[in-house]
Amino acid sequence: MDKEIHIRNLVYKYISNQCNGHEQDELLRHLQTPAGKWVFDEVMTSEAGKIFTKSEEIEPAVSNRLLGRLRQSMVAEENLRDQPLPFYRKNSFMQIVVAALVLLAALAIYWFSA
């Protein structure tokens, strides 16, 4: 329960732009856990309800900051998925290396048994 309250406080500090770098890192680590995701979703749902029940608009600076962070996270996630594998981690390269080693072993056996 205390951990949830701590995560909730970090989320509120984050969305009000009052988090320092250490707290942001800590929040990101918590968001990797199911409990952290749950608390984040709960806070964001609560805040969205508050925003949409009011007739006033979100400040453009806050809106732009949130949009920028969402875009950054989406780009970072896409870049992780789209990174090409190095040549030595591809299956075809490993198959060629194994085939070459088998060929060298066969050649060595033939050479020394003759």
**Structure confidence at residue 103 as a pLDDT band (50, 70, 90):** very high
The predicted model scores a pTM of: 0.44
- Span 46-61, pLDDT tens digits: 877 666 655 566 677 8
Residue 84: is its pLDDT beyond 80? Answer: no
Measured torsion, CA atoms of residues 33, 39, 40, 41, in degrees rounded to the nearest 10: 110
Residue 90: is its pLDDT beyond 70? Answer: no
Whole-angstrom Cα distance, residue 2 to residue 6?
Answer: 6
φ, ψ (nearest 5 deg) of residue 16: -95, 10
Whole-angstrom Cα distance, residue 26 to residue 30?
Answer: 6
Question: Higher confidence at residue 63 or residue 29?
Answer: 29
